[in-house]
Amino acid sequence: MKRHQALGWLGLLVAIAAPVTWWGRQQLQTEFLPTASQVPALAPPPSTAPQTAVGQLTDADAAAIATVIQQQMDAFQADDAELAFSFASPTIQAQFQSADQFMAMVRSRYATVYRPQAVDFGALEWVDDSPVQAVVVMGPAGEWMTAYYPMEQQTDSTWRIAGCVLVPLPGETI
């Protein structure tokens, strides 16, 4: 019960903080060319993709979003850089330029989603006109985090991951 209450409060916090954080980072990253050690928290969604109206995701969209995230996590587990990279949005792919650079960044900065011990999909909500999937993850050291995945719908109606923001769950470790 304590974890679910914390998730509710964290969801509210992220719903407020994520757009502000995203906007500030976009202002700082206008000429950002990352290396494997530099990670943008969120990338702007392209305006050319067909978007479902805000708050109007279908059950099929929600299932497809969860599947894409799970498939990327499975690719991380298998150390399949090419497959993991294929689930990233075109913007993320352009920023990292190669599957190897992307995977090096994930290994160094996102161990929680790279080698999770447990994964629990939470709420799918709209933040800044984009769907964001919350995923509660126990990292390799037993720390609980919520991974917030902003999602981007492509012109072919498939979904891609447009970033990941990790938020620790205070007091939650095993």
Residue 14 has a pLDDT of 44
Q: Does residue 136 contact residue 149 with C-beta atoms inside 8 Å?
A: no
Residue 25 has a pLDDT of 41
| 27 pLDDT more than 50 | no
Residue 69 has a pLDDT of 96
Non-local (6+) Cβ contacts of 113 within 8 A are 73, 76, 106, 135, 137, 147, 164, 166
Residue 19: band (very low, low, confident or very high) from pLDDT cuts 50, 70, 90: very low
pLDDT in tens, 122-145: 999 988 888 999 999 999 989 999
CA 156 – CA 166 distance, rounded (Å) = 28
**Both tokens of residue 99?**
């599957």
